């Protein structure tokens, strides 16, 4: 019997079965077969920013001179001197106001600044400044206030000129000023209004509305001639407005006619050099040391004075924030908005 047709049929059936098996397997596996995903790009490498003091990231010191445009050459001279001494890239930047300077500290575009006391306290409270250096001005690092009166007034004097010290606490010495009229320098003057007014308020001593004399010399003149106010307040310890040349020129006996009734302790810090808290100790030390050297060099000291509106700096010393505590505590009774007192 011929079996060839059977063989052909079997072969065809086997082929058909293989095809069906392949198609079936493909159909069954296709829903579970993962589709190729797009390749994940390699992570981007963020370059490390240059350290502060690098030429690409200079340390910037801020000033608020009276005329920024006219002080550019001096600012550049100071920056060059500091860069040379510290081996860092240091720049100076001049601002029109202390408000804009504080904004620079907040943005991180300024890293250090020369700040007066109330401006520093505000910047420190905002976490923008940490004092490093305090300036010696007229031989002292701190100053205070004194209460003055005409020698012919019936006041008890609680001050010893021989020792330049008060002889009684404020509560005792200032009670005699109750219900009398003061002469103040101006409402933003720390020594000529804010500090003495705070002391009076702290001891519950009420006075009549004050006369704003505008200058310490004008306070002395008002008391000298009498009839304008009963007592006055001006700066003390860093000098004596009674002996100023513009007073002694026509009032040579002013020191005898206008007497000191009582004087505070020196609790007002002078101008300071502060750094943003994020500036490293190494950089602070380098800049502070160089500024201390510069203060002792006549030519560069003149530059410092000019950039600080004629504020003469004889030297610097290292201090910490605690030196501001006595002033903070005394002024706290006035509930001041320090943003209104920037520059003081």
Annotated domain spans of the chain: 59-139+270-341, 142-268
- Pairing outcome for strands 159-160 and 142-150: unpaired
Q: Could you tell me the fold of the domain covering 142-268?
A: D-Maltodextrin-Binding Protein; domain 2 (3.40.190)
The CATH number of 59-139+270-341 is 3.40.190.10
Does 204 have pLDDT greater than 60?
yes
What's the pTM?
0.85
> How many other C-beta atoms lie within 10 A of the C-beta of residue 54?
12
Residue 49: the pLDDT is 84
Structure tokens at 307: 């950039």
Same fold, 59-139+270-341 and 142-268: yes
Look at residue 295 and tell me whether its pLDDT is greater than 90: yes
Alpha-carbon distance of 268 to 139, in angstroms, equals 14
Average pLDDT, the chain: 90
How far apart CA 102 and CA 341 sit, in angstroms, is 13
Q: What is the pLDDT of residue 5?
A: 43
pLDDT value of position 40: 67
pLDDT at 36 over 90: no
- Tokens 């020129």, residue located: 249
Residue 27 pLDDT: 43
pLDDT at 91: 98
């Amino acid at each position: 019997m011929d079996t060839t047709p059977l063989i052909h049929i079997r072969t065809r059936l086997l082929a058909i079965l293989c095809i069906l098996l392949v198609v079936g397997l493909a159909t069954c596996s296709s829903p579970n077969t993962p589709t190729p995903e797009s390749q994940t790009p390699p992570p981007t490498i963020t370059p490390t920013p240059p350290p502060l003091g690098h030429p690409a990231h200079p340390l910037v010191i801020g000033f608020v001179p009276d005329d920024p445009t006219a002080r550019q050459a001096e600012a550049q001279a100071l920056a060059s001197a500091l860069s040379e001494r510290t081996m860092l890239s240091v720049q100076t930047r001049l601002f029109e106001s202390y408000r804009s300077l504080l904004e620079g500290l907040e943005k991180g575009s300024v890293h250090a600044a020369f700040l007066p006391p109330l401006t520093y306290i505000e910047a420190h409270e905002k976490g923008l400044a940490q004092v490093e250096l305090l300036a010696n001005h007229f031989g002292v690092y701190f100053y205070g206030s004194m209460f003055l009166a005409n020698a012919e007034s019936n006041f008890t004097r609680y001050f010893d000129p021989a020792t330049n010290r008060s002889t009684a606490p404020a509560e005792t010495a200032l009670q005699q000023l109750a219900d009398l009229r003061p002469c103040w320098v101006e409402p933003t003057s720390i020594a000529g209004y804010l500090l003495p007014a705070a002391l009076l308020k702290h001891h519950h001593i009420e006075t009549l509305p004050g006369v704003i004399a505008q200058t310490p010399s004008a306070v002395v003149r008002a008391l000298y001639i009498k009839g304008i106010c009963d007592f006055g307040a001006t700066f003390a310890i860093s000098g004596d407005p009674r002996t100023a040349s513009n007073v002694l020129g026509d009032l040579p006996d002013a020191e005898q006619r206008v007497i000191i009734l009582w004087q505070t302790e020196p609790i007002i810090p002078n101008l300071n050099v502060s750094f943003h808290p994020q500036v490293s100790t190494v950089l602070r030390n380098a800049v502070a040391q160089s500024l201390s050297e510069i203060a002792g060099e006549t030519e560069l000291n003149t530059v410092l004075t000019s950039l600080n509106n004629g504020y003469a700096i004889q030297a610097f010393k290292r201090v910490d924030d605690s030196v501001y505590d006595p002033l903070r505590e005394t002024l706290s009774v006035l509930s001041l908005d320090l943003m209104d007192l920037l520059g003081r």
